[in-house]
Structure 1
Amino acid sequence: MTHPWPNWLPHPDEEEASVLNRRNFIGGAGMAAVLPVISATPASATGRPPLVGTETVQYLRTAVLPLTTMPTVERQHVIPLLDSSLSTVTGLLENARYDTRTGVGLNHLAAQLAQTCGWTRFDIGHQDQASALWNLAFEHARAAGDRDMISSIIADFAYQGLWTGNAKESVRLLEGALARPMHATVRSLLHLRKARAHAALGEAASCRHHLAKSEGELARTSADEPPSWAAWMSEADVEIDGGRCLIDLGEQAPGMKRIDRGLSLLTKPRSKTYAVFQCYRAEALVHEGQVEEAAAVLSSALGTARQIGATRCIDQVAQISDRLRHHPTVNGVEELLSNVKAVQAAA
């Protein structure tokens, strides 16, 4: 028997359910702090709101969607442009006229932009703003009827649950999301998130079950390409997160082996992911007493995190580095601690 669907999200089978009553506390004031003010759309000569056509949606997609797939090291420089693009699209939805097809296109674009904007806030540690933006993405994905994207956004919330110590909530979210059909790549992602949550809770059997499911779904061939916002999901992610699962379950050696293999598969443009995964490896090294190697890995992760402006990655490095304070004479430790202190002071 699964847990009930969380009361702040609609059940997958309830199209008209009311939404977001728990996390919506950020709603009005919170969103005002996150995004620029949306100016009213000018009225046409007839006094009626202007009509938006499919050409406008296509132009917007061509102009702004590339922003959502930029490497983090580059995307950090265009956060204001992402925010204003989202405000432009939501402004059209609120103030313009459009037919059903155009409305679906605008909602889908708004969902993609809001999801990406949520990640920009998550990466700098602004969890309330990330939640508010993912709520907005959820609403627009639901309006667009994009079930796969809804599942992806739920996976984002589940990942946030892991980072904020709410693994039980992550499990509940993912049980509901996995109850319906979706693209195999998206299903692989959800199973991987669920494996991580079960591992954090020490539930080994459930963790292994969902890890195997994630591997199986990713290996499935499909006539349809994965959605663009899920195309990053790869064997490297399964290997590294699978390794982290094993480490959380106390299996250090096989966990390290999987992480090392995953890191070798990871493509360079995913620098933020690389920094996070390096930290996973460093934690395992610290646990194994390999202090010098851990310091070297953490120094590399710190440099990457600083380059891409990912505060959460810097904090992750700092937390692990703190465990090395009792080894000040080990090569690299003193320099690492000094660099962490300097980076945090400059933040």
Structure 2
Amino acid sequence: MDSTDRRRQFGVYLAGLRRAAGKSQRQLAALLCAVSGTASVTRTEVSRWERGARVPEAWLPWLAHVLAVPLRELEQAALYARGEAGARLPGPAASLAALLPEGDPLRQLQASTGRRIDGEAVASLAARVHGLRLADDVLSGGDLVGPAFRELRSALALYREASFTEDTGRALLTQIGELGQISGWVASDAGRLDDAEHAYRIGLAAAREAGNGPLAGNLAGSLAYQWSNNGRELEGVDLAEAAVRESGDAAGPAERALFFDRVAWAHTRAGAAQPAMRALGEAHDALSSDAVEEPPQWAYWVSREELEVMDARVFTELRRPLRAVPLLTDVLGRYDATHARELALYRSWLAVALADANEPEQAADEAQRVIDLSGDLSSDRTAERTRVVLRKLEPFADVPEVRQVLTAHGHLLMA
């Protein structure tokens, strides 16, 4: 792991401490100025720390005081950020892979010494899994990554150590699969890509063991989405298409729409416009099906609105802004304001599409909205999209509205 990754992980850790203390970035900066008797910390500086651009070495004692955490914990985190051998992030921000058992995580112990569980215990776990999914609607990966992986570890331990009937075991495996998916998703959002892939693979193994084809397809598609966004575009295409096959005939309309959307995105990232457009059509056809099957809980968010967002993202990537801008404008006008991360991400696509449409003033306005929404989020996705938007604006630096945004926030490009 390089120094940039370590600093970013330190930033996620620091942002988590701030949110746990109930402070915004601006409030934290003001408190640091008050206790230190200086006026040298701004919200922008706190943002730099949390994005991993800088490590606040000189401010560790004041941060410990304001955030009510032991100074030695912050010092340990700073050692990790500097790359000191043997140093680790403290608390839930420690390496997530270390929370999981080594070897085959689904290998049951030969002689179970744990309690016997029934469907009620699995139903309780299912409720907690869905609670994590709902929390992901309004929180970022850095907020949820620790709780999600602790839940995954506990579920794996239960499967390995408890006794249960065959039906209960299959239901427990299904919940481990669903936990693997949401844990992988939040870890990816926090920038923990290796941990995310580890979780996805555990979930995929559990879903296959349970004989749940649609869930296996969801996990394979989730990993394909991560690969497509992180330099493995051709592998992402292969895996996204394999996810459709993996899901089998048991997948309902919502699941098929989701899987085809991921295929469309994978082809888009690989620069294949026609296959991408065909997959978008298949996604819409799937959701237009006359079938009235209730989707699984993990597909609760799939809707016509979300398909339109993916359409617009594909059109933006393929440099078709005249198709992307109206779609995004319409969807954003109806979108839930509590979903700050999704709003920031979707507005980032709108900003890029507006720049491609040679509307730099409007693009700058959207860029500012993205930055305002992203400020208090511990999401690697929104941080990266902010950088994409700012880079897209750079050719228009002579436009006053663009110059103002680049002057105020150009430092984010160095994060």
Give the TM-score category using the shorter length.
0.7 to 0.9
The 2-side partners of 1:178 and 1:36 are apart by 31
Task: State the match for 2:310 in structure 1.
Answer: 241
Task: State the match for 2:134 in structure 1.
Answer: 69
SS of alignment partner, residue 290 of structure 2:
coil
**Equivalent of residue 318 in structure 1, options 387, 392, 395:** 387
SS of alignment partner, residue 174 of structure 1:
helix
Maintained 8 Å contact 1:161/1:167: yes
SS of alignment partner, residue 237 of structure 2:
helix
The 1-side partners of 2:330 and 2:156 are apart by 42
Q: Residues 115-144 of structure 1, C-alpha deviation per residue, up to 9 Å, x if partnerless?
A: 111111111222111111111111111122
SS of alignment partner, residue 239 of structure 1:
helix
Task: State the match for 1:34 in structure 2.
Answer: 97
Which structure: larger Rg?
A: 2
Task: State the match for 1:231 in structure 2.
Answer: 300
The 1-side partners of 2:412 and 2:318 are apart by 34
Maintained 8 Å contact 2:96/2:146: no
**Equivalent of residue 86 in structure 1, options 152, 171, 178:** 152
The 1-side partners of 2:337 and 2:291 are apart by 26
Task: State the match for 2:3 in structure 1.
Answer: none
The 2-side partners of 1:121 and 1:333 are apart by 34
The 2-side partners of 1:56 and 1:284 are apart by 48
Q: Which amino acid aligns with 1:87?
A: R
How many residues of Structure 1 are paired with residues of Structure 2 in the alignment? 309
SS of alignment partner, residue 337 of structure 2:
coil
**Equivalent of residue 121 in structure 1, options 160, 169, 187:** 187
Task: State the match for 1:101 in structure 2.
Answer: 167
Task: State the match for 2:117 in structure 1.
Answer: 52
**How much has 1:296 moved relative to structure 2?**
1.6
Q: Identity across aligned pairs (percent)?
A: 21
SS of alignment partner, residue 98 of structure 1:
coil
**Equivalent of residue 204 in structure 1, options 273, 286, 290:** 273
Q: Residues 120-178 of structure 1, C-alpha deviation per residue, up to 9 Å, x if partnerless?
A: 11112221111111111111111222211111112212211221132322221132232
C-alpha spacing 1:318/1:56, structure 2 compared with 1 (3 Å): same
Deviates more, 1:318-327 or 1:279-288: 318-327
Q: Which amino acid aligns with 1:95?
A: E
The answer to whether 1:262 aligns with 2:331 is yes
Alignment of 1:173-192 (within 5 A): 173-179=239-245, 180-181=248-249, 182-192=251-261
Q: Which amino acid aligns with 2:220?
A: I
Runs of at least 5 residues in structure 1 that lack an aligned partner in the other structure: 1-30, 39-45
**When the two structures are superposed, what TM-score results if normalisation uses the length of structure 2?**
0.67
Maintained 8 Å contact 2:96/2:149: no
Maintained 8 Å contact 1:198/1:207: yes
Maintained 8 Å contact 1:69/1:229: no
C-alpha spacing 1:344/1:60, structure 2 compared with 1 (3 Å): farther
The 1-side partners of 2:206 and 2:389 are apart by 38
Maintained 8 Å contact 1:162/1:170: yes
**How much has 1:332 moved relative to structure 2?**
5.3
The 2-side partners of 1:249 and 1:336 are apart by 25
The 2-side partners of 1:235 and 1:294 are apart by 26
**Equivalent of residue 216 in structure 1, options 285, 309, 316:** 285
Deviates more, 1:291-300 or 1:327-336: 327-336
**How much has 1:340 moved relative to structure 2?**
5.6
SS of alignment partner, residue 70 of structure 1:
helix
**Equivalent of residue 250 in structure 1, options 319, 332, 345:** 319
**How much has 1:87 moved relative to structure 2?**
1.3
C-alpha spacing 1:314/1:52, structure 2 compared with 1 (3 Å): same
Maintained 8 Å contact 2:240/2:266: no
C-alpha spacing 1:223/1:47, structure 2 compared with 1 (3 Å): closer
The 2-side partners of 1:341 and 1:253 are apart by 31
Task: State the match for 2:357 in structure 1.
Answer: 288
The answer to whether 1:131 aligns with 2:197 is yes
Maintained 8 Å contact 2:283/2:307: yes
**How much has 1:234 moved relative to structure 2?**
1.5
**How much has 1:284 moved relative to structure 2?**
1.4
The 1-side partners of 2:126 and 2:262 are apart by 29
Q: Which amino acid aligns with 2:411?
A: K
**How much has 1:275 moved relative to structure 2?**
1.7
Q: Which amino acid aligns with 1:176?
A: A
The 1-side partners of 2:162 and 2:347 are apart by 47
The 2-side partners of 1:306 and 1:316 are apart by 13
C-alpha spacing 1:68/1:248, structure 2 compared with 1 (3 Å): closer
Task: State the match for 1:273 in structure 2.
Answer: 342
SS of alignment partner, residue 50 of structure 1:
coil
The 2-side partners of 1:82 and 1:270 are apart by 19
Q: Residues 51-75 of structure 1, C-alpha deviation per residue, up to 9 Å, x if partnerless?
A: 2222222233334531222244336
